[in-house]
Amino acid sequence: MMPVRRDLRFNLPKERACDWHVQGSHVTHFFNSLSLLFPAGERFFMDSVRHYRDQIDDPELKKQVLGFIGQEAMHTREHVEYNDLLQEAGLPAHKLDRRLWAMLNFGRKILPPSYQLAVTVCLEHYTAMLASLLLEDSSRIGGSVEGYTQMWTWHALEETEHKSVSYDVWNTVLKPGPGRYLLRAGTMLTTTVMFWLIVFDYHVRLIIADRKRGGHIRGMWRVVKYLYGPRHGVFPRIAGDWLSFFRPGFHPWDHDNRAQLARIDALVAAVDATNAATPSARKATRRGVQAAA
Ligand SMILES: [Fe+2]
Ligand SMILES: [Fe+2]
């Protein structure tokens, strides 16, 4: 699977930044808390993979690394603007973004490159799991404000497209054996705890900052159902995929969801149509689709 860098712009109505999800503001802020993780997080991913680029001989994988970096750079650019809308709406977006930069910069200083790559591999498995869920189940985001839905769908599609790149780099540059397995599995355990603690913390802070909106009992009920509901909740639905990561022979494409990528051209066309229909929007231009290499 060759990741393609798509230079897209999205029409995000700023008055809906705190309430764009069809299930209300509390679920909106779950997505918003994830958005706050991307600028610092994706930079960390790009750097940890780039560190090993010269050790890759396979020209195919080299190209995939370029595509991966190109896609993450586009995601970051769009999430920075998205997060600015959250800041404008009165949420502490910049403060939380800076906090994550500080944490990850500290990690960069103290962790050896192989640990940093392990963290990336684990978090790329997270983005792949969450992306797959978003794409396979229309109740995850369907019916929400169009521009936000398009942006999250685009991000989910590209996370799927490049889901194996950091893992293939990992397998290429690290010596096979129990050490490699233990580092990957152990990092998944610690990364899981850290990731959800940060998401929970950021999510609660956004809800508190937006508390004047009201409807908290219904909103909290919806978000609890959205995340933990036994049939459709995020956590129960990703549990199997999360466990599969611990198989010694795991590979991201063991979960073959290539079929989900068939939507991508239709999505790009829909983004164009939305942007053309709202020429006054500040992000109404798309600057063409180009291949990574
Ligand atoms: Fe991304
Ligand atoms: Fe990614």
> 30-60, pLDDT tens digit by residue?
999 999 999 999 999 999 999 999 999 999 9
Whether the Cβ atoms of residue 164 and residue 1 lie closer than 8 Å to each other = yes
CATH code, domain carrying 54:
1.10.620
Residue 236 belongs to a domain: no
Characterize 71-96 residue by residue with b for buried, 16 or more Cβ atoms within 10 angstroms of its Cβ, and e for exposed: bbebbbebbeebbebbeebebbbeeb
29 CB-near residues (< 8 Å, 6+ apart):
18, 203, 206, 207, 210
Mean pLDDT value of segment 134-146: 94
* Nearest ligand to the CA atom of 120: 2
Higher pLDDT, 199 or 215: 199
Higher pLDDT, 134 or 292: 134
Residue 75 Cα to ligand 1 middle (Å): 5
* Nearest ligand to the CA atom of 73: 1
Q: Give the domain extent around 258.
A: 14-216+243-277
Residue 163 belongs to a domain: yes
pLDDT, residue 48, reads 98
Residue 39 Cα to ligand 2 middle (Å): 11
Residue 234 belongs to a domain: no
Whether the Cβ atoms of residue 128 and residue 256 lie closer than 8 Å to each other = no
Residue 231 belongs to a domain: no
pLDDT, residue 214, reads 84
Per-residue pLDDT at 290 exceeds 50: no
Residue 232 belongs to a domain: no
Residue 90 Cα to ligand 1 middle (Å): 25
> 61-116, pLDDT tens digit by residue?
999 999 999 999 999 999 999 999 999 999 999 999 999 999 999 999 999 999 99
Residue 215 Cα to ligand 2 middle (Å): 34
- Count of structural domains, the chain: 1
Residue 289 belongs to a domain: no
Residue 174 belongs to a domain: yes
Residue 224 belongs to a domain: no
> 231-264, pLDDT tens digit by residue?
899 999 999 999 999 999 999 999 999 999 999 9
Residue 140 Cα to ligand 1 middle (Å): 18
* Nearest ligand to the CA atom of 45: 2
* Nearest ligand to the CA atom of 162: 2
Q: Could you give the CA distance from residue 166 to residue 59 in angstroms, rounded to a whole number?
A: 15
